[in-house]
A and B are shown apart, each in its own frame.
Chain A
């Protein structure tokens, strides 16, 4: 009883569901396979979705999308010692139009998007893990799950970070430690009213924070906080290489972050209701091998479509857009009657048209930028040291700001190198 579909999509995360949805609309018979009990059941992320790709994919998305809050307030916080320095940006326009971003909970968001794919005609099967790609004469002909072999013209791998199937198919380089970060997240329950009051936002509005400096105890990476309806998502993304090198334990790093007074103020009185950890691919575009092969396309995190530049964290939007691009490539291939790598070659063009690759290229050097450890420990320390002196009035005689800066920086960072770091950083952003 061999089953056959035009397309099989592996993984019902944002990339897979978007691909399945777009394919089904193009009258592909689509099988969307998710190993979790339900789409999103086990998935986690920081908490914010940039909405732009939804406007095209699902023009009516706002009707029923499980939005927690629209982000209308952005903050960047530097931590050092017990001190913190916050930069805050408010604008009602942040939550407007195509530039809108919103906080969401993955179990609900992923489930919503997967159901949209189902409504469009894709067959969603949960609780089944795809074990292997079905190979025939060196090309992908479908998938293998348990005793079953399901045939398909094209397989879209949207299996998330690390992409073991894509790796097996020879599409990805091995992800050795430097190329991955570890994401840790806690959900802290707080009453909606408390959130509105504490973060000074309206009922449907929310705040987003990024933390630098001691957020990650000097490890490269940063912290984040997003407000949901009645909880906040609090977490860290830290380099797994640094974790190993400095022999730091993930829970200890998280504890250090949570206990910082600046963080404590924001989560005071809350109850941790969930804890999870996840890998974040961090490989720069340069390391990317191929996004497609004979009969197969790779989308979302599995293809490394992720931007983390210290102040924005974009994965879900790129995942959705890349899923759509994959569907377009499959449509082109069908028109040509050729699902080989060549037939699917338009994938890259569609990725570009949908700004996935272009945005990634813009941030190409972000990986390198993030490698600069000084940005995560030394500079926040300097910044806070200086600020503290500026605001300290203790009768000991006030000095000029330029003197303070010079004194603070003495022996810690040659001014030139700092200027170079900052310029490089600004460029990569």
Chain B
């Protein structure tokens, strides 16, 4: 079998192209910056998580006030950490097929990192401790634990995190739609209905779907965060608790969920590299991503299952969407990944082994997530 030999490794000709495309020094640095910052933050948050567990086990003594500050920071920090890593990963693997700007990615990175720092200041110095969920009206009932300035700092931080991710989504969407000639084409719709033979590669489908859902979620997030900031400044502002809860989870749940789909986009490029087999766009893949577009945007209401004042139809829609979201993942992405590995003379390295084990975790975690939505 013909192989293309690069500096250090062997890549199948069909799988070549994605990562064998030359990258500039700036691009590599930006990639490392995203991965490095995200991983550093992830390990820092792990330490906070362990600290909380040790406190619960009475191994270390932490005051209630500090425990909940740490909890707030840990929730928001873990989301930002994994988001940064996966944003960087998808950006790097998309670079050979669509035109992306390192400068604009840096702007998004800057907004998110500054946002995370403000959350850190609000929690550690300002004592802000509502959990990452900041459900209204808890931020305005501090019981002497935090001052309005730290509430404002926290929400400006959250605004920047959402804004940074929105910038990234705009960048992806602009690039995929201009490269493939419109949104429908970037989503593979003409290919699905047989009107075009050319389909965008899987990572582009992932990027387009993530960008669309990410922008909708960021819009919801911006709305609630501005409302909360408004109330911080003027206590006379009235925020409906049910409205606030819906928007908070629409924002938080959806962005956390999209991190997995950012990772799926990176997977489409990285796995073929180790398997030496191509991952091509097929009609089931297009259907899977179109379904995911809808499921991700409608699943958040499962965070309100215990609120019986939430309209009943929203509960049923969310129940259906949360469960059905497992179908594209299990039948298309994980299954195809396993087909790629089967009998492939897979190149087992530390990275690819961890990658492979990640799938193993993905299956049961999907199953338990479905159970927990019951």
Are A and B physically bound partners?
A: no
Give chain B's interface residues, CB within 8 Å of chain A.
none
Give chain A's interface residues, CB within 8 Å of chain B.
none
